[in-house]
A and B are shown apart, each in its own frame.
Chain A
Amino acid sequence: MGKMIRAVVVPRALQAVMVAWTVGTLTFVLTRALPGDMAYRIAAGRYGYDNVDAAAAAAVRQELGLDQPPLLAYASWLWDLLTLNLGRDMVSNEPVWSEVTHQVGHSLVLALVAIAFAVLLGPALGVAAGLRRRGALDHASLALSTALRSVPPFILGIGLILVVAVELRWLPAAGHGGFAHAVLPGLALALGLAAVSSRVTRNAVVAVARSPFFAFARTKGLGEALAFRRHGVRNVAVPVVSYFGVQLIYLIEGVVVVESLFAWPGIGHALVHAIVARNVPMIQGTALVMGLMFVALNAVVDGICWGLDPRRRAS
């Protein structure tokens, strides 16, 4: 356990600190880079351009500490971040923290639905293709995966909306409700993930099927299915799960755009809205939580790899 904490938890915790620092610094630069008098700009964003006067600007200046020297302002900005004082949404005036914790739940649901679809589709196809190398299914899955990898998730989403929702009318095109609403955005994200993981699985299966230990299992009389279950699955799972860690970047980036496309009330959608509205506290809150979600999912993948692969524990 102590070993696992050192190998998995500590590096990811450091990464989480890095995420907070990067997001905090960039959003601080963002407040400083707003053109014109910042206090007037922020007041205009908050109260509307027609309702800004010197008093409102002065109140904003006071509240955000805009008259401080830059270094002091930077330190107090980071201190607020450290104490999770994320401020208030400039549009709705709700505390950012409560909005963001609400949204992150929706995003996690979407991410988990996507992962579930990807795990159901990709590795199964990969195993089938790998066990019959150079067969028809292997060639077909290579072509399909190359094509799917060349389509960004939001275009897959447009395609799914047009075919499944608009033409066939099987599922809702957008919005949020029951499981039916999560299917299309989940699939839009999952197809790209599955396209890559099916090939990673296929290559791992081919490597295992060629290995001496697999040949030995077969020679001692185990059937193909049994030999694969006993000696193949875990060996195949290690590269597939570790590659999934690499793909999390694709998942998180996809979430931002796919949520906007499907009007899914998650954190990516909120981030895009915050950027369009230049709603700095929300940009910071959403980017921070998305980054932390990325780190947390990565930590889970690390933990699974740790459990799967005894060689990692030994080294």
Chain B
Amino acid sequence: MTAIASTDGFGLRLGALLGTPGRRLGFALLAAIVAFAWLVPLLHGGDIASQNLMRTLAAPTAAEPFGTDHLGRSMIVRLAAAVRLSLGLALLSVATAVVPGVAVGILGGWYGGAVDRVFVTIADSVLALPGLLLVLILSAIAPGNFWALYVGISLVMWIEYYRVVRAYTQTIARSPEIQSSRLLGFGMGYCVRRHILPEVLPVVATMGAFGAAGAIMAISALGFVNIGVRPPTAELGLMMTELFPYFDEAPLIMLQPIGVVFLLVLSLNLIAGSDPK
């Protein structure tokens, strides 16, 4: 509770948010990757699918600072597109999971009862399977489809927020602070804003960063085993599979998508905090 007392409103003051040096490094890394991904199409131009078979696996030049792949496609354009896909899908999934997760978690923790039990049952049945299996089966239902990944990842992820928020809400709802607020005549909306959200949102933010990192790893893993998006879409895992046979000729080209996944996940892990809880 003391940590909350020192911050305002939602407990997300900038100083506290930037916090440790590790977290600052994470934000800087992520900002650099985002800038790369969204500036390249503005400054460089070019298409992810346009081939130049006269110049395959070319070394970096001034025109193609990251070289070209086995079909002579521009690596810088493809990497930027792949980051936009992975990061965009990961953030979209997290956002989609957080809203119902937090809302249902607060309602379930606050009211309890039959509705709560229904959601606990749903959560348990979804969590019975490891998330990637669920996503795999969904992508079998709609192969090569963007929405299968999106629905699968969000469907698995909202449970985590739901469970944690529900547990926090249950504890807070029984606390003396809430009791005083209720005695003073404040309603549920006030209690949620003043007592529950400030406690819960920092935790949700940490989980969101971990979740986005996990989503990025899952998307690249699915791309790597050729399930998920289809060529010629630029996707980091798919690019690794495509470039794997050419490792001997052009090791640096193959290492690029690997490095990008590493930096993306690292930046999100650093933002979430260095030690797992």
Question: Which A7-42 residues have C-beta < 8 A from chain B?
Answer: 15-16, 18-19, 21-23, 26-27, 29-30, 33
Contact B130 A283 (CB under 8 A): no
Which residues from chain B contact A142 at a C-beta distance below 8 Å?
A: 274-275
- Measured as residues with beta carbon below 8 angstroms from the partner, the interface class of chain B is 35 or more
Contact A196 B276 (CB under 8 A): yes
Contact A18 B125 (CB under 8 A): yes
Contact B125 A150 (CB under 8 A): no
Contact B129 A150 (CB under 8 A): no
- Residue among A22, A159, A257, A276 making CB contact with B221, cutoff 8 Å: A257
Give complex CA distance A47, B140 in Å. Answer: 20
Which residues from chain A contact B136 at a C-beta distance below 8 Å?
A: 256, 271-272, 275, 287
By secondary structure, the B interface counts as helix
- Residue from A15, A149, A196 having most chain B Cβ neighbours under 10 A: A149
Which residues from chain A contact B265 at a C-beta distance below 8 Å?
A: 149-152
Which residues from chain B contact A159 at a C-beta distance below 8 Å?
A: 258
Question: Which B209-234 residues have C-beta < 8 A from chain A?
Answer: 213, 217-218, 220-221, 224-227
Given contacts A278-B143, A290-B133, A294-B129, contact A155 B258 (CB under 8 A): yes
Which residues from chain A contact B262 at a C-beta distance below 8 Å?
A: 150-151, 155
Give complex CA distance A78, B132 in Å. Answer: 23
Contact A291 B133 (CB under 8 A): yes
Asked if A84 is at the interface (CB within 8 A of a chain B CB), the reply is no
Tally A-B pairs: CB < 8 A: 123
Contact B225 A146 (CB under 8 A): no
Which residues from chain A contact B22 at a C-beta distance below 8 Å?
A: 146
Which residues from chain B contact A256 at a C-beta distance below 8 Å?
A: 132-133, 136, 221, 225
Contact B270 A146 (CB under 8 A): yes
Contact B128 A155 (CB under 8 A): no
Asked if B240 is at the interface (CB within 8 A of a chain A CB), the reply is yes
Which residues from chain B contact A60 at a C-beta distance below 8 Å?
A: none
Question: Which B192-218 residues have C-beta < 8 A from chain A?
Answer: 213, 217-218
Contact A253 B131 (CB under 8 A): yes
Give complex CA distance A257, B224 in Å. Answer: 8
Interface code A113-151, partner B: CB below 8 Å = 1, 0 otherwise? 000000000000000000000000000001000110111
Contact B276 A287 (CB under 8 A): no
Asked if B146 is at the interface (CB within 8 A of a chain A CB), the reply is no
Q: Which residue in chain A gives the minimum CB-CB distance to B125?
A: A18
Contact A146 B274 (CB under 8 A): yes
Which residues from chain A contact B274 at a C-beta distance below 8 Å?
A: 142, 146
Q: Which residue in chain B gives the minimum CB-CB distance to A142?
A: B274
Contact A21 B125 (CB under 8 A): yes
Give complex CA distance A291, B224 in Å. Answer: 22
Give complex CA distance A30, B130 in Å. Answer: 19
- Residue among B129, B140, B258, B275 making CB contact with A30, cutoff 8 Å: B140
Asked if B141 is at the interface (CB within 8 A of a chain A CB), the reply is yes
Contact B247 A162 (CB under 8 A): yes
Asked if B266 is at the interface (CB within 8 A of a chain A CB), the reply is yes
Contact B220 A287 (CB under 8 A): no
Asked if A81 is at the interface (CB within 8 A of a chain B CB), the reply is no
Give complex CA distance A27, B133 in Å. Answer: 12
Contact A19 B128 (CB under 8 A): yes
Question: Which A294-309 residues have C-beta < 8 A from chain B?
Answer: 294-295
Contact A249 B125 (CB under 8 A): no
Asked if B68 is at the interface (CB within 8 A of a chain A CB), the reply is no
Give complex CA distance A159, B258 in Å. Answer: 10
Interface code A238-252, partner B: CB below 8 Å = 1, 0 otherwise? 000000000011001
Contact B129 A23 (CB under 8 A): yes
- Residue among A33, A199, A291 making CB contact with B130, cutoff 8 Å: A291
Which residues from chain A contact B247 at a C-beta distance below 8 Å?
A: 162
Asked if A203 is at the interface (CB within 8 A of a chain B CB), the reply is yes
Which residues from chain A contact B140 at a C-beta distance below 8 Å?
A: 30, 275, 278, 283
Least Cβ–Cβ distance between A133 and chain B, in angstroms:
13
Q: Which 9 A-B pairs have the closest CB atoms?
A: A150-B266, A253-B132, A18-B128, A152-B217, A150-B265, A275-B140, A252-B130, A18-B125, A257-B221
Residues on A facing B (Cβ under 8 Å): 15-16, 18-19, 21-23, 26-27, 29-30, 33, 142, 146-147, 149-152, 154-155, 158-159, 162, 196, 199-200, 203, 248-249, 252-253, 256-257, 260-261, 271-272, 275-276, 278, 283, 287, 290-291, 294-295
Residues on B facing A (Cβ under 8 Å): 22, 124-126, 128-134, 136-143, 213, 217-218, 220-221, 224-227, 237, 240, 244, 247, 258, 261-262, 265-266, 269-270, 274-276
Given A15-B124, A249-B131, A291-B130, 20 additional A-B pairs, CB 8 A: A18-B124, A21-B125, A26-B138, A30-B137, A146-B269, A149-B276, A155-B240, A203-B275, A248-B130, A252-B132, A253-B218, A256-B133, A272-B136, A272-B226, A275-B139, A275-B227, A278-B140, A287-B129, A291-B129, A295-B128
